[in-house]
Structure 1
Amino acid sequence: MKLETRQILNELKPPVHGSAAREDVLDFSTNTYPVELPDDIMAAMINALGDAGRYPDTDSSLLREKISAIFNITPESIVVGNGTSEIIRLAAFCFGKKAFIPQPTFSEYDYSVLLYGGAVVPARILEENDFLVTEDVLGEMPRDTSVVFLCNPNNPTGRAIPKKAMYSFLEETQGKGIMVVVDEVYFELSDSYSLIENVREFKNLVVLRSLTKAYGLCGLRLGYAAADEKIIELLDKARPPWNVNSVAQKAGALCIGHPYIRAVKEMAEESKKKLKQDLNRFPVKIYPSESNFFLIDVMETRYDSASITKILLDKGICVRDCASFPHLDKGYIRVGVKTPQMNKILIEKLGEVLE
């Protein structure tokens, strides 16, 4: 049967993402931190199942009000999505005529732009600068750019854009019809700064946040964006109705501002320090990271990224082969920071391979 489809669907390859498909492995390929949700949040989620026979609030009003109170922005400055990936698609649909994207970075940005018929102008983030997005990289943006996607801290490199360079870039693009989407999904587990309250100052700024990485809700799919009210109005027009289920809305409203997130951040920071110390004993290069994962160059070992990934998987450890990212060859893997107990097993298995 011949189907009439969009030509782009015959040309695009689906993005590659981390996550182990097997339950019998420890998954270091994702950048989430293992979290045991507090009892009050678990109880609220169970209670919300009683609403399964009713449509959820299509505007996620309670969650938006909670977010607005914490960051001192209006509820009308917030849109909630079925994960930040949905909001990336909305931004690409609304503004993605010509996107400027420093790479390597999260593959959903360019995929979403291309899916909706836009053009992508990449800029290479250099290894010689330890994959830091510099002012020179940002300076490669064409004048006719319609949207810029910046992951801060960046995935898969873990690097945060220097604050001075970021603010200079926002000032340069303001008032020129260029939307700047800054993806802060790793903020809660990072050493970086946030721009979320700057949406009042920069009318072309969209800040993405997630309740996946640190809050332990990745299975519920929940994220949000903050921006000027006029920008949110446009994103809202493209958003499907009832896009966030009732359980996710209730859990998110409790998680935002909950004290347990501070404890999670402290545990993750300590775990990260110890993991880096232990990784340094191997003949690999570990790049600086302001986030909860490390990009690792394994080219000085006798393995490439594919082979070391396979060997570790056979030993019950899943890491991210980074060969699918632009400008990263077969010499790079990414390892997420997990609990001390999980990290210890990772180091033991790496030792069996590399020592």
Structure 2
Amino acid sequence: MSRDHCPLGSTIVDIRAGSRESLRHHGDVDAGPGLLDFAVNVQGDGPPDWLRLRLADALAHLGTYPTVTADLAARTAVASRHGRDPEEVLLLAGGAEGFSLLPRLGIREAALIHPSFTEPEWALREAQVPVTQVLLDDPYVLDSATVPESADLVVIGNPTNPTSVLHPAEAILRLRRPGRIVVVDEAFIDAVPDERESLAGRSLPDVLVLRSLTKTWALAGLRCGYALGAPEILERLQVGRAHWPVGSLQVEAIAACSEPHAVAAARDHAVVLGEWREDMIRQLTGIGVAVHRPAVAPFLLLRLSDGELMRKHLRQRGIAVRRCDTFPGLGPDFLRVAVRPAEQTDALVDAMKEIL
């Protein structure tokens, strides 16, 4: 592994070997039955009643294959939601599937902005695509990024998991170069009021946006998401893709969650999440825990003098939090906690007080 320190607080790390296990470690591994779950960012235990009933009604049609008509209807709903054309929408089995399709773009060299979600890096490395990690130092803003000019693919999360940083849209657009595709993971941006800084509504030939519906709508087990991009890019993503890659229930859920009433409900919930988040920040900082701010996502990045000891202590008290030493650029003293309602936050803070 070679390391070159670059100006403005970023570090470029060229990796062609490393821990596959760390790249595939996600919050569900830290959670477990019976634990109070701060490790996974899904909101609630399951979808709201109206969505549950709609999916239940769709069960009657599982005897038929997913139809072109249903696919078009869902893509039309998504397109209408973002002010785009249906040809600019590709339905996905969860936003993470979009990362698995990236190698089909024929990438020569990828750059990934870290600390961030590691699934895209895993997919690219598995496909033998040369990968450069661009590590941002605290406060994890793009002004400190030095991306290799040779990279023809750049992947960034917005807001970023696990730092909870929201990058300005214009800062992301400055990553564009001739011959380069910029991929923006917006899995959590529907938790941001008014989805500010989103690029989902911008029809650009070299920007691909990946969205997830599994967090806000508690559909993690169903795997629902979509990609927004130029038709030519979406066509390349589908080369060799399996037939019927998205099931009927997934198509139904994507359509349902893209309708105006659902978008409005998500917008309202983003406001509630903001109130919960501010309460969590107040309580955590009140007991001496360093919380990375500003934070806009449905999770917070914490830094402690001994994060690993705290994580084990909390687990013994029946509370699961996300370890962060598997994120490039972070170490064992960092933990990520999902934003939760006040009564759950109280339980977390009380347990942390015992060891602090």
User: TM-score normalized by structure 2?
Assistant: 0.87
3-state SS of paired residue (1:206): strand
* In 2: Cα distance, 1:352 partner to 1:12 partner: 35
Residue type of the partner of 1:26? Answer: L
Deviation at 1:121, TM superposition (A): 1.1
1:274 equivalenced with 2:279 (yes/no) = yes
Cα distance in structure 2, aligned partners of 1:131 and 1:241? 40
Task: Indicate conservation of the 8 Å contact 2:102/2:237, yes or no.
Answer: yes
- How far the C-alpha of 1:272 sits from its partner, in A, is 0.9
Q: CA 1:330/1:9 → structure 2, altered by over 3 Å: closer, same or farther? A: closer
Partner of residue 64, structure 1:
75
The residue that corresponds to 2:164 in the other structure is 158
Query: Which residue does 1:210 correspond to in 2?
Result: 212
Letter of the 1:264 partner, please give it: H
Pick from 318, 321, 324: which aligns with 1:319? Answer: 321
Matches of residues 72-83 of structure 1 in structure 2 within 5 Å?
72-83=83-94
Corresponding residue of 1:145 = 151
| 1:262 equivalent in structure 2 | 267
The one-letter code matched in structure 2 to 1:159 is V
> Residue 349 of structure 1 aligns to which amino acid in structure 2?
A
CA deviation map 1:199-238 (0-9, x unaligned): x2x2100011110121221121111110011111111224
What is residue 3 of structure 1 aligned with on the other side?
none
SS at match of 1:224: strand
Deviation, 1:156, is 1.1
SS of 1:197's equivalent? Answer: coil
Query: Secondary structure at 1:323's aligned position in 2?
Result: coil
Structure 1 counterpart of 2:141: 132
Q: Is structure 2 residue 290 aligned with structure 1 residue 285? A: yes
How much has 1:94 moved relative to structure 2?
Answer: 1.9
| Whole-Å separation in 2 of the counterparts to 1:251 and 1:326 | 33
Check 1:169–1:96 CA distance in 2 against 1; reply closer, same or farther (3 A cut): same
Cα distance per residue 1:291-337 (max 9 Å; x no partner): 111111102xxxx2222111101111100110111121121001110
In structure 2, what is the equivalent of residue 194 of structure 1? Answer: 198
Q: Partners in 2 of 1:183 and 1:228 — Cα distance?
A: 16
**1:5 matched residue in structure 2:** none
Q: Cα distance, 1:34 vs. partner?
A: 1.9
How far, CA to CA, are the matches of 2:214 and 2:168 in structure 1?
25
- The number of equivalent residue pairs is 332
The worse-fitting range, judged by mean Cα deviation, of 179-188 and 341-350 is 341-350
Deviations 1:154-201 (A, max 9, x none): 11111122333223333xx1xx11110011111011254110111x2x
1:251 to 242, 250, 253: 253
Corresponding residue for residue 345 of structure 1? 347
Structure 1, residues 59-93: CA drift from partner, whole Å, max 9, x if none?
Answer: 73221110111212111101111111111110133
In 2: Cα distance, 1:226 partner to 1:349 partner: 42
Unmatched segments (≥5 aa) in structure 2: 1-15
- Mapped contact 1:92–1:116 kept (Cα < 8 A): yes
- Do the aligned partners of residues 150 and 11 (structure 1) sit closer, same or farther apart at CA in structure 2, a change above 3 Å counting? closer
In 1: Cα distance, 2:313 partner to 2:63 partner = 47
1:15 aligns with one of 20, 24, 36: 24
The corresponding residue for 1:4 is none
One-letter identity of the residue aligned with 2:201 = E
User: Which amino acid letter does the alignment assign opposite residue 340 of structure 1?
Assistant: A
Verify the 8 A CA contact 2:321 2:337 in the aligned structure 1. Answer: yes
SS of equivalent to 1:296: strand
| Partner secondary structure for residue 350 of structure 1 | helix
Q: Tell me if 1:224 matches 2:226.
A: yes
Matching residue of 2:53: 43
**Is the Cα contact below 8 Å between 1:214 and 1:265 reproduced in 2?**
no
Distance (Å, rounded) in 1 between the aligned partners of 2:31 and 2:352: 21
Contact 1:93–1:116, Cα closer than 8 Å, also in 2: no
Q: SS at the partner of 2:302? A: strand
Query: In the alignment, which of 26, 49, 70 is matched to residue 36 of structure 2?
Result: 26
Query: Which segments of 5 or more consecutive residues in structure 1 lack a partner in the other structure?
Result: 1-7
Is 1:89 the counterpart of 2:81 in the alignment? no
Q: Give the Cα separation in 1 of the matches to 2:285 and 2:206.
A: 41
Following TM superposition, by how much is the alpha carbon of 1:37 offset from its aligned partner in structure 2, in angstroms? 3.5
Give the structure 1 partner of residue 3 of structure 2.
none
Please state whether the residue corresponding to 1:166 is helix, strand or coil. helix
- CA–CA distance in structure 2, aligned partners of residues 46 and 190 of structure 1: 29
- Alignment check: 8 A CA contact 1:103 1:122 kept: yes
Q: Equivalents in 2 of 1:147, 1:235: separation in Å? A: 13
Amino acid aligned to 2:289: V
How far the C-alpha of 1:21 sits from its partner, in A, is: 4.6
Rate the CA distance shift 1:143–1:336 in 2: closer, same or farther, 3 A.
Answer: same
Distance 1:31 1:40 in 2: 21
- Which secondary structure state, in structure 2, belongs to the residue aligned with residue 60 of structure 1? helix
CA RMSD of aligned residues (A): 2.1
